[in-house]
Chain A
Amino acid sequence: MKISGIKYLTNQGIENIWKNKMMAFATFCVLLISLLLVGCSVLFYINMNSMILGLGNQNEIAVYVETDTPQERVDEIGEQLRNIENVGTVTYISKKEAYERMQNQISQGKEIFDYINDYQFMPDGFSVTVIDNEQLRATVDAITRIENIQSADSSPQVAEFLRELRRVVTLIASAAIVALAAVSMIMISNTTKASVFSRREEIQIMKYVGATNAFIRTPFFVEGLVTGFFSGAGAFFITWAIYRSVYNIIVAQGMLINAFGAGSIIPFADIRVPCGLAYLFVGSLVGAFGSVVSTRKHLDV
């Protein structure tokens, strides 16, 4: 086909949106609502996951160095810890800090410390957080293999609980997203079918004058693509507005931050680009193919 032919079919697709504006608007709305439903569910799941990971990050590994280890070696151990895969943050806790912590923890027996009054018996230590809580045990094992490490304590029960929680959340969220996606597909399919059905005679006439299926489908493809693209853009801006409002309320009131850790709720700025691209891509794809597939039934003339 010549370039002028492709240009003609593309223009036809765009013109058809205006010529069939009511049906195009219906398709736009259905696509927009479907994208919003699925998109918001995905964003909710991503944030839930992030919050669970935030909880996991608070599950520290307490690493104790042998008491007679020289300071140079302690510094080396700090470096070694940072080099271990899956280690997130490594915070050095000096003998003195450890002593003060212990004082605070045993607040009812402060008198004991009056007798001791020397922190040199305390070991140097590190507070280590992990990136992936699932690999907590392997990380602890790697830490204990380092020379001069007296012990590395973690709470595997917390890790196990978080793993289970994440699994359940993933399962429920996946089921909800799949169900919403299925409902959306049915809605979109019915709307595009209705849109194409209203133009079935037009398709038949095109067949009679010798148009190929590709020739007939191309304007429908362009029409669906453009409608889907704008639905995606609309869904993105609505999501942006809703997300920012909810995020601002949560941050302003300090909700969830204490429990799940700062940064566990993802700011929209961090996901703006992938979110926008996903909306535009999925919207265009579903719009274009929904439209093309719906023509199939009417092409057999």
Chain B
Amino acid sequence: MVELQNVSVTYAGGVDALNNVSLKINDGDFAFVVGSSGAGKSTMIKLLLKEIDATSGVVTVNGYNLSKLKKRKIPEFRRTLGFVFQDFRLIPSMTVYENIAFVLRVLDAPLKYIRKRVPYVISLVGLHAKTNSYPDELSGGEKQRVAIARALVNDPQLIIADEPTGNIDPELSYEIVELLKGINDQGTTILMVTHEHDLVRHFGGRIINITNGEIVYDEVVTGTNSEILPEVELAQAMENAARQNHNYPMPESDMYDNSTPYVDDVIAAITSTAANQGGAEE
């Protein structure tokens, strides 16, 4: 379970990365965290990994109150998590097997268990043939599957995936999220940060939109893969929620490349048009 209660983070330079954020993700949930660059997503991940401390508020993850967690208890806390990063973060000098087994070594698991568990997890992500390969010998998608296997191997309560599809081909992205969904079906809570709204639209689920350090949208939606919520409808729903919470338009920097029909593009376009019209009328 993840719970943020009135959490704010202000960096040394005076930048407010998170502003009075409250959020609760229950056990077994699958939540997408979306938002533009600089919105506060990475800060939230850092908070949840206890890389940084909240300036104010209470952060609770898997029963650990991170605001009060002592430094020497951090390893114990992190062992209850799995993490998947955009840049894979595999140890280059270790094989696929060793990278995954390392997590169990840290837990001081019996050798017999490691020998049984690691091949099982490797087969779950479909990399049995690559067991003895080094990360350099794998494709991006394969590396990310190894990262997922590593996140999974200690049977964590929560997996935090920070842009797990950011460095891989779009078609492989769906596979990765499918994999995470499959893990979620087994009862593991998944928190996935992403820029790729296509994926969010496709899979649906709980969507948390962070903008300028605040949660502007937090709803459960059905994915388009079940053809229930059309793209524009989802975009409109998110935009309405955002406008209810904020009276400012989306930053222009987020009015990006037209070739990528992200939800944010739609939102920004609508918001910008509305603002321009309002300005013209005045």
Which residues does chain B contribute within 8 Å of A211, judged by CB atoms?
75, 106
B105 nearest in chain A by CB position: A8
A4 nearest in chain B by CB position: B111
Which residues does chain A contribute within 8 Å of B227, judged by CB atoms?
none
Do residues A208 and B78 form an inter-chain contact, with CB atoms below 8 A?
yes
Q: What count of chain A residues pass the 8 Å CB interface test? A: 22
Do residues A209 and B106 form an inter-chain contact, with CB atoms below 8 A?
yes
| Chain A 203-226 interface 0/1 with B at a Cβ cutoff of 8 Å (1 = within) | 011111111100100000000000
A7 nearest in chain B by CB position: B111
| Chain B 22-60 interface 0/1 with A at a Cβ cutoff of 8 Å (1 = within) | 000000000000000000000000000101000000000
**Does chain B have a CB within 8 A of A20?**
yes
* 9-residue interface stretch from B90-98, B194-202, B239-247: B90-98
Do residues B91 and A2 form an inter-chain contact, with CB atoms below 8 A?
no
Which residues does chain A contribute within 8 Å of B107, judged by CB atoms?
210
**Does chain A have a CB within 8 A of B130?**
no
Do residues B103 and A209 form an inter-chain contact, with CB atoms below 8 A?
yes
The one of B76, B102, B108 in contact with A209, judged by C-beta atoms closer than 8 angstroms, is B102
**Does chain A have a CB within 8 A of B262?**
no
**Does chain A have a CB within 8 A of B89?**
yes
Contact A5:B105 (CB < 8 A) given known A208-B49, A208-B83, A209-B78: yes
The one of B76, B79, B102, B108 in contact with A5, judged by C-beta atoms closer than 8 angstroms, is B108
Do residues A209 and B93 form an inter-chain contact, with CB atoms below 8 A?
no
Do residues B93 and A20 form an inter-chain contact, with CB atoms below 8 A?
yes
**Does chain B have a CB within 8 A of A1?**
yes
The one of A5, A204, A210 in contact with B75, judged by C-beta atoms closer than 8 angstroms, is A210
| Chain B 103-124 interface 0/1 with A at a Cβ cutoff of 8 Å (1 = within) | 1011110110000000000000
**A20, B92: Cα distance in complex, Å:** 11
Query: What are the 4 A-B residue pairs with the smallest beta carbon separation, nearest first?
Result: A210-B79, A210-B78, A19-B93, A210-B75
B residues sitting closer than 8 Å to A (CB atoms) are 49, 51, 75-79, 81, 83, 89-93, 102-103, 105-108, 110-111, 150
18 other A-B residue contacts (CB within 8 Å) besides A19-B93, A209-B150, A210-B81 = A1-B108, A5-B105, A8-B105, A199-B93, A201-B89, A202-B91, A202-B92, A202-B93, A205-B90, A207-B75, A207-B78, A208-B49, A209-B78, A209-B83, A209-B102, A210-B106, A211-B106, A215-B75
